[in-house]
Amino acid sequence: MEVEQLHKEMKGLREENNSLREKNQLLENKISSLEFDINDLEQYGRRQNLEIQGIPMSDNENNAETESKVLTVLKKIDENISHDNINIAHRLGKSKTNKTPNIIVRFVSGRTRNNPHKERKKLKSNAPGKPISKRVFISENLTKRNKHLFSLANEERKKFNWKYIWTNNGIIFLRQSNDSRVIAIRSEKDIEHIKNPMDNPRNTN
């Protein structure tokens, strides 16, 4: 009787343990889903922003000076852009690496923001009146999570000799070559598919 009772108790404990594991997995999935939703909302809130890297910072620089420097750069892309198109421009806090702080530019609308981002390669052009600017880079203002994801994806891109990486509306995209399909990266799991691009369900045309 004692052995039989022990077996029953062990069976009950196993069933309870399995039930707890299932509940724990459900909670983990729910937390992960909430984290995705929060990140997407935060990125959506940055849809009117761009981040500019490489503009030198002067002593005691204020936001007005920062905005003027930003306009000088943006006019190399679009001569018609003006102060009226910018809501605010400000430096980020100093980093631990002592690099020049990046600048966050908030435009009056997402549509106004899109053209400088789309045409940012003009900063590297040899067009008359548009000097080459090798130190200034314009990118989307990504959330902390998306920046980390971009960094991880870029490391894998270099490792496996993929040619392109970019972002659009906060989503990271990769393309192995001019003729290959585009892969969207929304999670660290997606990065694994860089090794086997045809297995990725997020492939797009």
What is the domain-level CATH number for residue 121?
Answer: 3.30.70.1820
Pairwise CA distance, residues 160 & 195, whole Å = 7
Q: State whether 133 and 56 are in the same domain.
A: yes
40 and 64 together in one domain: no
Q: How far apart are CA 53 and CA 32, in angstroms?
A: 31
Q: Which of 140, 164, 183 is the last residue of a domain?
A: 140
Q: Are residues 111 and 191 in the same domain?
A: no
State both tokens at 80: 């018609």
Tokens of 157: 């891109």
Same domain, 112 and 186: no
List the pLDDT tens digit at each of the 205 positions of the chain.
577 777 777 777 787 788 888 888 888 888 888 999 999 999 999 999 999 999 999 999 999 999 999 999 999 898 899 999 999 999 998 766 668 999 999 999 999 999 999 999 888 765 555 554 568 999 999 999 999 999 999 999 999 999 999 999 999 999 999 999 999 999 999 998 887 765 554 555 5
The pLDDT assigned to 176 comes to: 93
Query: What per-residue confidence (pLDDT) applies to 119?
Result: 92
Domain membership of residue 127 as a residue range: 49-140
- The verdict on 53 and 136 lying in the same domain is yes
59 and 33 share one domain: no
Does 165 share its domain with 126?
Answer: no
| pLDDT at residue 45, rounded to an integer | 96
Backbone angles phi, psi at 109, to 5 degrees: -155, 160
- The angle that helices 144-159 and 2-44 make with each other, rounded to 10 degrees, is 100
pLDDT at residue 8, rounded to an integer: 73
Number of domains in the chain: 3
**Helix/strand/coil for 81:** coil
pLDDT of residue 132: 46
